[in-house]
Amino acid sequence: MTLPVPYPADTRAKGWRFELDYERVRQSDTWALTPAEYRPWLLMLWMVAWEQTPCGSMPEDDGLICARIGMAPKAFAKAKPSLLRGWWRAEDGRLYHRVITERVLEMLEWRRKEAERKRGHRGKTPTTTPVPRDTTVTDDTGTGTGTGTYPSLREGSAHTTPGEVCKAMKSEGLQSVSPSHPKLLALIDAGMTLPEFTDAAKHAFTNGKPFAYALATAEGRRRDAATAPLPSAAQNKQQALEDQNAAVAARFLEGQNNVAH
């Protein structure tokens, strides 16, 4: 069956690294059914597909595939059922694989969010008002900072490691995570805490969204919290905290509703 093309024809990796989820690969049916002598060719096929245009695809031509991955035609003909298991033909006449397509879509989502962030920064009027810092924010607020351009809301908090963050996010339901994702590393450097990551992961999993969406959500929540107005001196400290959190939550929900419409 021919399916729609999953993304634009000019999509390219442009230096974006292709990372394998080794645990997912080893547990896959394709890996189990592929003879050991052909498994290196399976990995080579995926890596070469990542370098194609559009990214993550291969031509529907056995000869070209052999030439691209450097495999002898006779060997490829014998291994073809295993090597091309899970690949499907799109309307552009090229072959795509579900797992690689997921990676490409995560890449495109991150690039879109990053472009929006840069446009937002260019459109802001410089101000000398200091960004509010509140070390009393509790771990269950679900708010935090973005890519390193926003200060941490928790002074002196110890940074978590990428591995710890990915493990925690997977425990919330996300399976395709990447410890070396540039956005993840930037958020950790900016001081984002583990509860902020897990809250965003839970939200992404509930809405059927990928790892990149969870990171973008965590960044947006931290940005909203960092730009929330300071409470007046006359307010009770606890009341001020509750009002600030309520305002952040309202803006986030409003943004989600706008996306939905």
Instruction: Identify the pLDDT of residue 156.
Output: 37
Here the tokens at position 114 are 């990053």
Point out the least confidently predicted range of 28-32, 51-55, 58-62, 152-156. Answer: 152-156
pLDDT computed for residue 41 by the predictor: 94
Least confident of 12-16, 27-31, 164-168, 225-229: 225-229
Which pLDDT band holds residue 77 (cuts at 50, 70, 90)?
Answer: very high
Average pLDDT value for residue range 12-27: 83
Q: What is the pLDDT of residue 176?
A: 87
Q: How many CB atoms lie within 10 A of CB 160?
A: 17
- Assess whether pLDDT exceeds 50 at residue 46: yes
- Long-range pairs for 185-188 at CB < 8 Å and ≥24 separation? 186/146, 186/147, 186/148, 187/144, 187/145, 187/146, 187/147, 187/148, 187/215, 187/218, 187/219, 187/222, 188/159, 188/160, 188/161, 188/162
Most confident among 69-73, 223-227, 235-239 (mean pLDDT): 69-73
pLDDT at 141: 37
pLDDT at 125: 56
CA atoms of 219 and 199, how far apart (whole Å):
12
pLDDT higher than 60, residue 144: no
- pLDDT at site 122: 73
- Give the integer Cα–Cα distance in Å for 27 and 122: 45
The reported pLDDT for the residue numbered 135 is 38
Q: What is the pLDDT of residue 145?
A: 38
Q: What's residue 90's pLDDT?
A: 92
In 10-72, alpha helices (H): 22-27, 29-33, 39-50, 62-69
The pLDDT of residue 149 is: 39
Residues 163, 197: Cα–Cα separation, whole Å? 12
Distance from C-alpha of 32 to C-alpha of 76, rounded to nearest angstrom: 18
Task: Using the predicted structure, report yes or no on whether residue 227 has a pLDDT greater than 90.
Answer: no
Percent of the chain with pLDDT over 70: 72
Cβ pair 187, 179 in contact under 8 A: no
pLDDT of the residue at 146:
38
Per-residue pLDDT tens for 97-143?
A: 988 998 899 899 989 998 888 888 776 655 554 544 443 333 333 43
**232-260: average pLDDT:** 59
Q: Residue 30: is it exposed, middle or buried by C-beta count within 10 angstroms (0-12/13-18/19+)?
A: middle
Give the model's pLDDT for residue 209: 86
Distance CA 182, CA 206 (A): 24
Q: Where are the beta strands (DSSP E) in the chain?
A: 57-59, 87-89, 94-97
Residue 185 in this model has a pLDDT that exceeds 80: yes
